[in-house]
Amino acid sequence: MATVTLSNIVKRFGTFTAVQKMSLDIPEGSFCTLLGPSGCGKTTTLRMVAGLLDPTEGDISIAGRRVNDIPIHKRNLGIVFQNYALFPHRTVAENVGFGLKYRDVSRADAERRVMQALDLVQLPQLAHRYPSELSGGQQQRIALARAVVIEPDVLLLDEPLSALDANLREDMRVELKNIQKRLGVTSIFVTHDQSEALAMSDQIIVMSEGRIEQVGPPEDVYNTPASEFVARFLGAANILEASVADAQGDEVALDVPGFARVVIPRTRAPELGDARKARLVIRAEKLKLMPADSRDDGAMMIPATVEAVDYQGQAARYFLRVGDHALQALNLIDVAPFAAGDAVSLRLLARDCAALPVT
């Protein structure tokens, strides 16, 4: 059952169309992420769901009720903004309980719910402090407590982790997902960070230029991209021009000149159809570097030369040459990485590849 439904939503600002005929169902209790680069329409979409913007065309429904003409304060939504939007002159408890002032909640019940929300984000001891006395991570938790204390039908999260440093951001994304699961509240999360989307989401909606490129679970969107944009936007992908040599049965054989013939499962090329030209997609981490002339009867072994190395501590990004093809590989390293100029063998499992039609 869908908690939020968008039906042919369009949003125009003058002559510019920010969202173009977007239709989407957000399942009840799910954590869904609108993912895409700046300007793709993801925040505009979230603001229309919130009631901060009116759609130019189309309908928005929440819990089965059309809400186009219903103001934001009557939609029963919890919202966490990028800048947290805490009231500096109010205590933490007053900030958290602010939304309850406009609901039919007794003072005693409001105080109880505020403390429950603070317990949920593990900050009950800060109830009487002010936002200026809190760290960025603490402010983010208070903003989340304020959003959930009203027991919303939907939780809207507009890049709430972007202002945090890298280590705290990773900790908070785990905590945020845990809280969402405990509450079971339907959540829509906006980010341009692929790692956040992949780590947190039940469903990812990849957007580009106001349109949906692909919708699906993280594993499907990452491993079987529906377009070249999705393949390139999520992670590092090598995309090679190929011809379709054979597409019968459960497998597809692709010839990549100067590289190899690669036979992949039909399930990894769902959009290919009867196309004769294709693009082979190989994720950077699926190319495993091994010493030159290594053998593995269960995998393809492709000779290559290391042109450059980007050392990253536990891992290294390799820039490689195979004939006329420039490739990237991302590998964990035990002792020392291969060096520029090294001849290597690339170990590749065909089942790890995907294919896209050439349109």
Torsion 167-316-312-230 (CA) sign: negative
pLDDT value for 145: 94
* Same domain as 309, residue 283: yes
Same domain for 51 and 155? yes
- Do 114 and 240 sit in the same domain of this protein? no
Task: Confirm whether 231 is domain-assigned.
Answer: no
Q: How far apart are CA 288 and CA 348, in angstroms?
A: 7
Is residue 85 located within the same domain as residue 108?
A: yes
Whether the Cβ atoms of residue 210 and residue 19 lie closer than 8 Å to each other: yes
Number of domains in the chain: 2
By 3-state DSSP, what share of the chain in percent is helix, strand and coil, each rounded to 5? 30, 40, 35
H-type alpha helices, the chain: 42-50, 92-96, 107-120, 136-148, 166-183, 194-200, 218-223, 228-233
Whether 299 maps to a domain, the answer reads yes
Q: What's the 3-state SS for 257-273?
A: CCCEEEEEEHHHCCCCC
What average pLDDT values come out for the chain (359 residues) when binned by 10 residues? 90 96 96 96 96 96 93 91 89 94 89 94 94 91 93 93 83 90 95 93 97 96 94 93 87 92 91 86 96 90 96 93 96 89 95 90
Domain boundary among 177, 201, 223: 223
Q: Tell me, yes or no, whether 228 lies in a domain.
A: no
CATH code of residue 345: 2.40.50.140
CB 80 within 8 A of CB 144: yes
Coil, strand or helix: which one is 55?
A: coil
Please give the single-letter amino acid code of residue 304: A
Position 230 in a domain: no
Domain of 146 in residue numbering reads as 2-223
The answer to whether position 306 is within a domain reads yes
Does 183 lie in the same domain as 320? Answer: no
CB 155 within 8 A of CB 188: yes
Nearest to 306 by CA among 332, 329, 282: 329
Q: Which of 167, 195, 223 is the last residue of a domain?
A: 223
Assess whether 54 and 181 both reside in one domain.
Answer: yes
For residue 11, tell me if it sits in a domain. Answer: yes
Give the predicted TM-score (pTM) of the model: 0.91
Query: Is 229 inside a domain boundary?
Result: no
CATH code of 164's domain: 3.40.50.300
pLDDT of residue 1: 65
Instruction: For residues 20 and 161, state if they share a domain.
Output: yes
Q: Tokens 């002792």 map to which residue?
A: 335
pLDDT computed for residue 29 by the predictor: 95
Instruction: Give a yes or no: residue 304 inside a domain.
Output: yes
29 with 148, same domain: the answer is yes
Nearest to 86 by CA among 123, 139, 122, 47: 139
Tell me, yes or no, whether 213 and 265 share the same domain. no
On whether both 44 and 154 belong to a single domain, the answer is yes
Q: What is residue 182's predicted lDDT score, i.e. its pLDDT?
A: 92
Domain boundary among the residues 168, 196, 223 is at 223
Task: Output the pLDDT for position 24.
Answer: 96
Please give the C-alpha separations between residue 45 and each of 52, 190, 213, 339, in angstroms, as whole numbers: 10, 9, 15, 46
Residues 191 and 216 reside in one and the same domain: yes
On whether both 199 and 259 belong to a single domain, the answer is no
pLDDT the model gives residue 112 = 95
